[in-house]
Amino acid sequence: PNECGEEEIERQHLKEHLEQTCPLQVIQCEFGCNAQLQRRQMPAHMKENVETHLSLVGKEVPKLQNIVQQQANLIKQMAAQMKQQEDHIKQQEDRIKQQEEQVKRAFMQLQQG
């Protein structure tokens, strides 16, 4: 479709060619600078726009730090909840053991009586 000179691309490989290798396919810059260039032009674009791209990346760092902090807080909350659940399970296990002992004693009394 782009007439890039690649001969006889099989139909099942056309999508892959366009998405990954076609030098004439227009692609979006991965740094979010809104540049749309042919794939073959992207290396020069990257070299020419290092400062712009670093600035864009730098603006994302605080957002990522905030996300990491939120995730860390969520992990702490979940760990506390898990501890509460473990304590509750232990209490239930102890209660079950006590009830089993009571049932055993009652059964023994019935057998002796």
pLDDT(113) > 80: no
pLDDT(73) > 80: yes
Specify whether the CB–CB gap between 29 and 41 falls below 8 A. Answer: no
pLDDT(106) > 90: yes
Other beta carbons within 10 angstroms of residue 22's beta carbon come to 21
| Over residues 46-73, mean pLDDT | 97
- Specify the higher pLDDT residue, 14 or 82: 82
Residue 54: name the closest of 44, 64, 46, 42 by CA.
46
pLDDT(1) > 70: no
Give me the pLDDT at residue 9, please. Answer: 81
